[in-house]
Amino acid sequence: MTEMIVSFNPILIFAAVILTIMASYTALDLFTLIKSSEKNQRFLFLGGTFSLGIGIWIMNFIGMVAININASGSYNIPLTLLSMIFGISFTGMAFNAVIGRQLKTGNLLAGSFFLTMAVLSIHVTGMFAIGMNVQFGSIVFLISTLIIFASFLFSLWMLFYSRSLSYSRHIWIKPLSALIIAGAVVEGYFLLIRSSSFYSNGEISREGDSPGTFLIFLVLFAAILILSGLIASSTLMSKRLEASDTNLHDIQAALDESSIVAITDPKGIITYVNDKFVEISKYEEYELMGKNHNILNSGYHPPEFFHQLWKTIGSGEIWKGEIRNKAKDGSFYWVETTIVPFLNKKNKPYQYVSIRTDISALKTAEANLKNSLKEVNDIKFALDQSSIIAFTDERGIITNVNERFCEISQYSREELIGQNHSLLNSNLHSKEFFKNLWKTIGHGEVWKGEIRNKAKDGSYYWVHTTIVPFMNANGKPYQYLAIRNDITERKKTEEVLHRQDKLAAVGQLAAGVAHEIRNPLTTMKGYTEFLQLDETNEERQEYLSIILDEIDRVNNIVEDFMVLAKPKAAELEERDIIPIIKNVISFLEFEARKRDVKIRFEYERDIIQIECDENRLKQVFLNFIKNGIEAMPDGGDITIRAAIINNQVQIAIQDTGVGIPQEKLKNIGEPFFTTKKNGNGLGLMVSFKIIESHNGKVFIESELNKGTTFNIVLPAKSA
């Protein structure tokens, strides 16, 4: 065995270095494209592995055969191929450790180790392939190996591990890394040559007869061809991905400006956050990386909420919802979140992209709106319980009513919606009244007043009304809100009090003059009767009769005054009212027939017991029925109804006469107010007084040319 002294062929070495640089750049280009293309990951990984593996092998193989030796040994083809396989395999293991996973220091060290092994295995196997024995100097070999390892470690750290030197932000990182890797390979070659001693293993061929010259150029040509194909493939793939990368970068830029973006691995570990995520969470980027979203948990949502979230995205479905998070400073914020799972070929998520929008202001406004709505609902509930509410459009068409409106008007909601308030017109108020009302609210002013309405069953009710106009941007009403309160009982009470005031005034007058009038009347009547006894002249007899009638009329007025001034205490006894009314009807039947009036009496029970003064109550019925007969000069019908409703006896005396004008109706029962030519109003006034002494009430309803109804309400007595 003979030690051999080596020298180098610079042309072949230069070619080998250029090919190694090309192979390194192509490999890194393909490896860095893996994250951009899920579908082509396998092709890109294999391409990159073959490119760098063959690049390392080319440098060592051509470098070996480029050594000018006095004679060249023969080539061992199987060992040559084995060295290539070693290089490709170790290269694949190296990049498998650093690509497609969360990179840790251990992965980085493993990748550097496998690349170092690729260089060493190709170098040693290549030596034996050309028939040489190699001996390494221990110290130099160790130092050479460490330098190669450190070069690969720095290159991988710069390319895959450093966040500040990410290749996506610095386009020079990839070429620089390729030069460092190529340099490590070339450096490894020369250091290993330097640390080695070579010995021939057999006969030496003559220099001019070297059988390997053709093989060298064949390998060189094949290497160039393979690397050119890989470079072309890498360039084509880069161009294809460049367009999509441009779109992706635009989309990412738009998302970064408008949304809070985070990317996690399948376990939910954060691998990327944008600036808006950092801004809203108040964490630094390094505090978030490697953590999961529990760091933001506000404790607002139950565990079941997140269990359902993970179940959804874990099955490959998109999840959307609202989440309340907790920032670093302890403040809370709401985000509308969309989590999109990215699936691999096995339909399993390999990462999740979370796109969020800050809706804290919206949630605050929503909470305020809920509180406002609650207040409005509370006010609405209070109004519905206490008031009669109606909404109309600008033309007065009813658009909404509450239950109390339906209850008091006796119309259903369906019957009211789409109608105007003329449906309830009682004809009490003049056209001028409503004209002024519309003029007020049409100018945007609130109107307040009292209105008498007519219910569906024909009954009347009074409401105190406030109409509020709602104005649009042009200062024109677009709807009206009418708030009414039922004041029917108050109006009836006012009517009773008004009548009582009149009665008190009449009583005071009667107390002062009734006695003084009665004594002269007695004297006048006595002398008139005395003169009538001796008078034979018929004409004078007639005059005297007229005088006596007028004296009786004055005397009756005085009697009525006395009743008002000193009313007798009512002697109440339990009586059946049915025969009392029948008795009064029998008194008036003859007069009713003369006037062509039919009297009908309707009652639901045969016995209706009350406590009353029978004679005085007869006087009331006599007055009311007689008034009804006199109100129908051309004949008609009088209907008397008696019933017990809510433990009260209700008696209605209804005629079909001329009716009473609305403006005069409120004065009925006042002293000396009458609608008849020869009346004085005291009869009705006395009747009202008698009913009040029985703890009862009288209500009058009348419509011009349709008739009048006297409603008498008395306490019922159980039979």
Q: Could you tell me what percent of the chain has a pLDDT over 70?
A: 76
Average pLDDT of the chain, as a whole number: 79
Superfamily of domain 391-486: PAS domain (3.30.450.20)
Contact between 355 and 261 under an 8 Å Cβ cutoff? The reply is yes
CATH number of 259-365: 3.30.450.20
Q: Could you tell me what percent of the chain has a pLDDT over 90?
A: 28
Using CA atoms, how far residue 547 sits from 394, 516, 527, 559, in Å, is 67, 19, 11, 18
How would you class 143 by CB atoms within 10 Å of its CB: exposed for 0-12, middle for 13-18, buried for 19 or more?
middle
Contact between 52 and 24 under an 8 Å Cβ cutoff? The reply is yes
Count of alpha carbons within 13 Å of 582, Cβ hemisphere only? 9
Higher pLDDT, 203 or 267: 267
Contact between 560 and 683 under an 8 Å Cβ cutoff? The reply is yes
Distance CA 414, CA 427 (A): 24
Q: Is it the case that residue 599 has pLDDT exceeding 70?
A: yes
Q: 533: how many CB neighbours lie within 10 A of its CB?
A: 7
How would you class 383 by CB atoms within 10 Å of its CB: exposed for 0-12, middle for 13-18, buried for 19 or more?
middle
Using CA atoms, how far residue 377 sits from 231, 389, 595, in Å, is 73, 14, 61
pLDDT digits (tens, 9 = 90+) for 377-387: 888 788 788 88
Helices in 535-576 by DSSP H: which ranges?
538-565
What pLDDT, on a 0 to 100 scale, did the predictor assign at position 17? 78
Distance CA 687, CA 670 (A): 11
Lowest-pLDDT choice from 351-355, 558-562, 577-581: 558-562
Three-state SS string over 450-515 comes to: EEEEECCCCCEEEEEEEEEEEECCCCCEEEEEEEEEECHHHHHHHHHHHHHHHHHHHHHHHHHHHH
User: CATH topology of 259-365 equal to that of 391-486?
Assistant: yes
Distance CA 624, CA 634 (A): 18
Q: Is it the case that residue 391 has pLDDT exceeding 80?
A: yes
DSSP secondary structure letters along 29-59:
HHHHTGGG-STTHHHHHHHHHHHHHHHHHHH
For the segment(s) 573-715, the CATH number from 4.10.80.40, 3.30.565.10, 3.40.640.10, 3.90.1170.50 is: 3.30.565.10
Tell which residue, 102, 34, 27, has the closest CA to residue 57: 27
Map residue 307 onto helix, strand or coil.
Answer: helix
What pLDDT, on a 0 to 100 scale, did the predictor assign at position 166? 46
Structure tokens at 349: 């998520």
The structural domains of the chain, with segments of one domain joined by +, span 3-241, 259-365, 391-486, 492-565, 573-715
Contact between 118 and 97 under an 8 Å Cβ cutoff? The reply is no
Q: Which one-letter DSSP state was computed for residue 161?
A: I
392 alpha-carbon distance from chain centroid: 26
DSSP secondary structure letters along 355-399:
EEEE-HHHHHHHHHHHHHHHHHHHHHHHHHHHSEEEEEETT--EE
Average pLDDT of the residues in 260-273: 91
Average pLDDT of the residues in 424-445: 91
Tell which residue, 127, 414, 268, 691, has the closest CA to residue 699: 691
492-565 sits in which CATH class?
mainly alpha
